[in-house]
Amino acid sequence: MLSRHLLRNACLPMITLIGLSIPGLLAGNLFIERIFNYNGLGLLFTTSLQDADYPVLLAYTLVGAVLTVLGNLLADIVLTMADPRLRLTSPSQ
């Protein structure tokens, strides 16, 4: 019984951290591509940096920004489902 209450409160910060780590997947794929010799977005990003290919760099940055916003939105939605105290209410007057 005690573990149920503890687990519920301990999971709330973890939900936030998981939502904020989603954009880190885009940054981490560069290292994974180097280790496993796999051609993907990380290699495209590094070659576009070397060749000064600005449209590709802007697209990569835009994908990172969209992932950041979606990660935050997903974390907020899951937090409101997990903790009913976070529901939006109208301001009392």
The label of the residue with tokens 């954009």 reads: 23
Looking at the 3D structure of the chain, how many domains does it have? 1
- Is residue 72 in some structural domain? yes
The label of the residue with tokens 């937090």 reads: 79
In this predicted structure, what is the pLDDT of residue 54?
92
In this predicted structure, what is the pLDDT of residue 9?
75
In this predicted structure, what is the pLDDT of residue 31?
81
Task: Give the span between the Cα atoms of 48 and 42, in whole angstroms.
Answer: 10
In this predicted structure, what is the pLDDT of residue 58?
93
Range of the domain at 36: 18-83
In this predicted structure, what is the pLDDT of residue 55?
94
- Counting as low any pLDDT under 70, the low residues of the chain are 1-2, 88-93
- Is residue 88 in some structural domain? no
- Is residue 71 in some structural domain? yes
The label of the residue with tokens 């903790």 reads: 83
In this predicted structure, what is the pLDDT of residue 30?
79
